[in-house]
C-alpha cells in the first residue's frame, strides 16, 4: 500500500483532468503518483517535503546527477544569445568535435532530440545504403515508440506494442533471441532483404542482459559477411558503460550508433554517429531533419557534459558503487526472506525477484517475478528510494558514500515491510 501524500494527490487528481492518465509519457503510467519539485545530485524532493535517493535518473539522462551546475550554467549562459536559429551557429563544431573525439570510432555526427528519432534516421540510412528494406532486431530491446519498432512479445511471437499501430510495422523486422548468434547466422543466410541489424549492446530495456562473451564480435562478423549495416543503439550504454560507450567497453565497432540520455547532463539531445561513407548520404538524398536539432542549449549541454566526463571520469567510482549496491540489495533481500536478484553492469542494472542464475535473453525473463518487483518499487518509494517499476537501476556520478548509506537503510526498511 502506497502512502498517500496529500499535496502529490492533489496534483495527480488535477493532472488527470489535463493529460491522459495524468502523465506525459506512457512509461510513467504505473509509477507512484508523486510530484517532484526539485532534483539535486542523486536526490529528488517531492511537494510533500519528502526526499528520495534517485535511481531512475529521469530514465537515465541525469548521469551527472540532477541539475549539474557546470552543465546548467553553460546552457543558461549560452541561451542568452538565443536558442534556435534554423541555421548554423558557433557551438556546433565544438560539440561535434568533442562528441566524435569522445566516441572514438565515428567520423560524422548528426544531433537530434530523442533516441526514437535518431533510431529512425539510422534505419533509413541503412535502407538507403543497401537498397534493402528489412532489419533484424532482438526480442526485448527498445528502439522507440514508432510503428516500425514498437513491439511486444506474445506467446514467443512479436506483436504490436500499441493499439493503433500499423500492423505491417512489425513485419519490417526479423526478431531473434538476444545472444543467439547462430539464429542471426541462419537468418542472414536465408534472407537477402536485410539492410541492418540493430542491437542494444547490453539489453538494458529488459533485464539489463549483457552480451555473452563474443556475441557482439560475431554479430559484427556476420554483418560484414552479408553487407548488412550494424547499428548499435547506445541510447542507454553511450557514455555510461564507458566513456566511449559499448563500442569501447566490448571492443566492437558498429557502422552506425545512436546516442541519447547520458550525453547531455539531463537535456534533450540525441545523436546518430557513423562512418563518413554512410553518414554523408544525408548530404545527398537521404532526409533527416528537425527544427531543434543541434540547438544552442543542446550543443552547450553536450560540450559541458562531455568535458565533465573527460576531465573527471566517474567510471571507476560507478563500478565500485554499483557493485556494492547490487551485492547489498541481494543480501538485504536474503535477510528478509526476499529472493531478490540483480544483474547487469554496476552503472545500470536490473533488480527483480527470482532465481539468481543469469538470464541471457528475453524468454529467460519469464522465470522471474517481475510483477512482484513492480509492486516492491512502490514500497521503495514509500521509504524514499525512487526506482523504475520495470527493474532498471541507474547510478550517477553524484551517488557517493552518503547516498549508499541512505539507500541501504531505506532499502532494508522497505524489505522488512515487504518480507513481513
Ligand atoms: N533506444 C533505447 C535503447 C532506449 O532505451 C530508448 C529510451 N528509453 C530509446 C531508444 C528511445 O529514446 P527516447 O525516449 O529519447 O525517444
First vs last C-alpha separation in the chain: 13
What tens digit of pLDDT does each residue of 79-131 get?
Answer: 999 999 999 999 999 999 999 999 999 999 999 999 999 999 999 999 999 99
d(CA 352, CA 136): 28
d(CA 336, CA 379): 14
Per-residue pLDDT for 2 more than 60?
Answer: no
Backbone region of residue 402 per phi and psi (left: phi > 0; alpha: psi in -120 to 50; beta: other values): alpha
d(CA 286, CA 263): 25
Band of the pLDDT at 382, cuts 50, 70, 90?
Answer: very high
Nearest to 262 by CA among 282, 283, 245: 245
Helix or strand run (H / E) with residue 6 = helix 6-18
Beta bridge partners of 152: 159
Active site residue 261: yes
Query: How far apart are the CA of 42 and the centre of ligand 1, in A?
Result: 22
pLDDT at 4: 75
Band of the pLDDT at 3, cuts 50, 70, 90?
Answer: low
Spacing of C-alpha 254 from chain mean position = 18
pLDDT at 242: 98
264, 104, 309, 68: CA torsion to nearest 10: -10
d(CA 353, CA 162): 27
Query: How far apart are the CA of 258 and the centre of ligand 1, in A?
Result: 9
Active site residue 315: no
Helix axes 69-79 and 296-311, enclosed angle (nearest 10): 150
- Grid look-up 512489425 returns 170
Burial 322-331 (b: 16+ CB within 10 A, else e): bbebbebbbe
- Grid look-up 540483480 returns 342
Kindly list the distances between the CA atom of residue 65 and the CA atoms of 17, 239, 333, in Å, as whole numbers in the listed order. 32, 14, 27
d(CA 5, CA 75): 34
Question: In whole numbers, what is the pLDDT of the chain averaged over residues?
Answer: 97
Active site residue 142: yes
pLDDT at 420: 81
Nearest CA to ligand 1 atom 12: 115
pLDDT at 1: 45
d(CA 55, CA 45): 13
Catalytic residue among 46, 233, 361, 382: 233
d(CA 392, CA 373): 11
What tens digit of pLDDT does each residue of 231-286 get?
Answer: 999 999 999 999 999 999 999 999 999 999 999 999 999 999 999 999 999 998 99
Query: How far apart are the CA of 123 and the centre of ligand 1, in A?
Result: 14
HSE (side-chain half, CA atoms, 13 Å) at 189: 6
Residue 317 in grid coordinates: 567510482
Catalytic residue among 46, 52, 54, 142: 142
Nearest CA to ligand 1 atom 10: 143
Strand pairing category for 43-46 and 51-54: antiparallel
10 Å CB burial of residue 24 (0-12, 13-18, 19+) is exposed
What tens digit of pLDDT does each residue of 125-150 get?
Answer: 999 999 999 999 999 999 999 999 99
Can you give the C-alpha Rg of the chain in angstroms?
21
Burial 218-251 (b: 16+ CB within 10 A, else e): bbbebbeebebbbbbbbbbbbbbbbbbbbbbbbe
Q: Residue 265 in contact with residue 95, Cβ under 8 Å?
A: no
Query: How far apart are the CA of 60 and the centre of ligand 1, in A?
Result: 10
Q: What percent of the chain has pLDDT over 70?
A: 99
Per-residue pLDDT for 406 more than 60?
Answer: yes
Our mutation pick for probing the ligand 1 site, out of 58, 236, 268, 293, counting the most ligand atoms within 8 A of Cβ, is 236
Question: Which domains are delineated in the chain?
Answer: 6-64+314-419 (3.90.1150.10), 69-311 (3.40.640.10)
d(CA 367, CA 79): 50
Kindly list the distances between the CA atom of residue 179 and the CA atoms of 217, 219, 248, 380, 388, in Å, as whole numbers in the listed order. 11, 9, 19, 32, 25
Q: What is the mean pLDDT of residues 353-381?
A: 97
Strand pairing category for 229-233 and 194-199: parallel
Helix axes 401-419 and 315-335, enclosed angle (nearest 10): 20
10 Å CB burial of residue 99 (0-12, 13-18, 19+) is buried
Cβ–ligand 1 distance for 114 under 6 Å, the answer yes
pLDDT at 169: 83
Helix or strand or coil: residue 349?
A: strand
Helix axes 92-103 and 296-311, enclosed angle (nearest 10): 40
- Grid look-up 528510494 returns 385
Quick check: pTM over 0.90?
yes
Position in ligand 1 atom list of the atom nearest CA 261: 15
Our mutation pick for probing the ligand 1 site, out of 198, 235, 298, counting the most ligand atoms within 8 A of Cβ, is 235
Q: What is the mean pLDDT of residues 334-352?
A: 98
Cβ–ligand 1 distance for 27 under 6 Å, the answer no
Amino acid at each position: 500500500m502506497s502512502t498517500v501524500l496529500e499535496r502529490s494527490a492533489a496534483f495527480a487528481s488535477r493532472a488527470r483532468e489535463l493529460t491522459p492518465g495524468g502523465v506525459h509519457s506512457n512509461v510513467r503510467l504505473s509509477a507512484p503518483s508523486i510530484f517532484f519539485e526539485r532534483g539535486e545530485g542523486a536526490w529528488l524532493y517531492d511537494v510533500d517535503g519528502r526526499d528520495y535517493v534517485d535511481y531512475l535518473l529521469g530514465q537515465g539522462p541525469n548521469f551527472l546527477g540532477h541539475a549539474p551546475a557546470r552543465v546548467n550554467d553553460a546552457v543558461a549562459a549560452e541561451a542568452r544569445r538565443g536558442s534556435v536559429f534554423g541555421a548554423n551557429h558557433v557551438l556546433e563544431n565544438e560539440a561535434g568535435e568533442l562528441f566524435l573525439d569522445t566516441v572514438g570510432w565515428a567520423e560524422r555526427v548528426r544531433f537530434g532530440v530523442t533516441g526514437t528519432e535518431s533510431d529512425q534516421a539510422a534505419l533509413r540510412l541503412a535502407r538507403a545504403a543497401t537498397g534493402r528494406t528489412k532489419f533484424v532486431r532482438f526480442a526485448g530491446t527498445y528502439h522507440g515508440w514508432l510503428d516500425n519498432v514498437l513491439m511486444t512479445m506474445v506467446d514467443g511471437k512479436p506483436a504490436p506494442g500499441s493499439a493503433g499501430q500499423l500492423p505491417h510495422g512489425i513485419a519490417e523486422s526479423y526478431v531473434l533471441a538476444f545472444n543467439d548468434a547462430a539464429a542471426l547466422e541462419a537468418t542472414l543466410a536465408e534472407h537477402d532483404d536485410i539492410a541492418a541489424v540493430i542491437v542494444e549492446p547490453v539489453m538494458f530495456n529488459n533485464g539489463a542482459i549483457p552480451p555473452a562473451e563474443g556475441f557482439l564480435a560475431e554479430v559484427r562478423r556476420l554483418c560484414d559477411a552479408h553487407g548488412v549495416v550494424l547499428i548499435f543503439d547506445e541510447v542507454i550504454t553511450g557514455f555510461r558503460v564507458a566513456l566511449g560507450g559499448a563500442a569501447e567497453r566490448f571492443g566492437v565497432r558498429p557502422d552506425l550508433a545512436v546516442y541519447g540520455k547520458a550525453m547531455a547532463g539531463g537535456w534533450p539531445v540525441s545523436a546518430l554517429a557513423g562512418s563518413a561513407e554512410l553518414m554523408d548520404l544525408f548530404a545527398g538524398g537521404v532526409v533527416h531533419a528537425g527544427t531543434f536539432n543541434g540547438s544552442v542549449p543542446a550543443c552547450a549541454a553536450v560540450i559541458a557534459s562531455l568535458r565533465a566526463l573527460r576531465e573527471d571520469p566517474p567510471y571507476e567510482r560507478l563500478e565500485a558503487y554499483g557493485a556494492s549496491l547490487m551485492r547489498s540489495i541481494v543480501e538485504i533481500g536474503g535477510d528478509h526472506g526476499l529472493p531478490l536478484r540483480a544483474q547487469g553492469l554496476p552503472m545500470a542494472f536490473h533488480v527483480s525477484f527470482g532465481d539468481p542464475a543469469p538470464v541471457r535473453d528475453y524468454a529467460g525473463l519469464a522465470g522471474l517475478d517481475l510483477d512482484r518487483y513492480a509492486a516492491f518499487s512502490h514500497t521503495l518509494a514509500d521509504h524514499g528510494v525512487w526506482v523504475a517499476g520495470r527493474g532498471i537501476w541507474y547510478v550517477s556520478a553524484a551517488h557517493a558514500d552518503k547516498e549508499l548509506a541512505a539507500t541501504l537503510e531505506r532499502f532494508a526498511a522497505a524489505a522488512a515491510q515487504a518480507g513481513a
